[in-house]
């Protein structure tokens, strides 16, 4: 067997269907592109149509199979509508990536009910609802991959975690519960844990060059993360190569969490 054939057997996603929320920007966009280039038919779900169209057009121009659905993941009705629309394009997904998130982070003492509810709806309830919609079908077919993008705040208090940190901690626990429920049926569930990544979600912190430099200095590689840094980890967790990896939090953070 050639090295190319061996690597394809391990990691190729040909014939797989992936649904990626938040796939039109930041880490989600990097993951959507990686899965599509690895052979999956990718449906991206997010809010802004212009960003969705630009992302999909780029992938299609590169020979990938990709489509988009504009959806509101802040309500149960919106999540369900987006899920059905996405499944209607290429069929039921084999891979679900929950990368969509909102970053409302007032200090904990200033978190009101509106911020709390909005954060939990997008960052935690939407992944739960999508898992309930697609996880059982994956189990019936004997293959599935659920990947959640969480945060350092899921594991430690960090730059005023507030409700955001709580939602990501809940998402880590959701991953373990989903892994417990479906891993015996060929459905693995894991999380990717970023460090500080230069994406639109972190635009507020990026306005302070000293903070950006200090965060880079806390890593072991000497820089902050980029969306493309998640490509390899995402393909691994989405592929057959990760069949014995489940309930796991994979840190992609340049060593930031080790300090």
Angle at 217 between CA 212 and CA 220, to 5 degrees: 130
Expressed in angstroms, the distance from the first to the final Cα of the chain is 42
Phi, psi of 225 (to 5 degrees): -80, 160
Which residue out of 6, 90, 164, 185 is catalytically annotated?
Answer: 164
Please name which of 231, 81, 251, 226 lies closest in space to residue 154, comparing C-alpha atoms: 251
3-state class of 191 per DSSP? strand
Phi, psi of 45 (to 5 degrees): -120, 125
**Is residue 244 annotated as a catalytic residue, yes or no?**
no
Please name which of 160, 173, 153, 159 lies closest in space to residue 257, comparing C-alpha atoms: 153
In the numeric block, which tokens belong to residue 91? 């069929």
DSSP state of 225: B
In the numeric block, which tokens belong to residue 203? 């635009």
Q: Which residues are catalytic?
A: 164
């Amino acid at each position: 067997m050639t090295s190319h054939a061996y690597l394809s057997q391990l990691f190729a996603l040909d014939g797989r269907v992936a649904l990626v929320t938040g796939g039109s920007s930041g880490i989600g966009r990097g993951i959507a592109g990686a899965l599509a280039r690895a052979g999956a038919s990718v449906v991206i779900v997010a809010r802004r149509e212009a960003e969705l169209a630009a992302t999909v057009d780029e992938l299609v121009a590169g020979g990938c199979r990709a489509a988009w659905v504009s959806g509101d993941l802040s309500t149960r009705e919106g999540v369900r509508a987006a899920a059905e629309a996405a499944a209607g394009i290429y069929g039921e997904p084999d891979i679900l990536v929950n990368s969509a998130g909102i970053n409302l982070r007032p200090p904990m003492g200033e978190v009101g009910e509106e911020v709390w509810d909005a954060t939990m709806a997008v960052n935690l309830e939407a992944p739960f609802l999508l898992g309930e919609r697609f996880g059982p079908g994956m189990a019936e077919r004997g293959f599935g991959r659920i990947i959640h993008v969480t945060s350092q705040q899921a594991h430690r208090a960090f730059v005023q975690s507030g409700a955001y940190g709580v939602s990501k901690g809940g998402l880590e626990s959701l991953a373990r519960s989903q892994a417990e429920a479906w891993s015996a049926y060929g459905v693995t569930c894991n999380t990717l844990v970023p460090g500080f990544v230069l994406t639109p979600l972190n635009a507020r912190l990026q306005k302070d060059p000293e903070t950006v430099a200090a965060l880079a200095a806390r890593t072991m590689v000497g820089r902050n993360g980029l969306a493309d840094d998640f490509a390899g980890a995402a393909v691994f967790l989405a592929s057959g190569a990760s069949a014995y990896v489940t309930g796991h939090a994979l840190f992609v953070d340049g060593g930031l969490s080790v300090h």
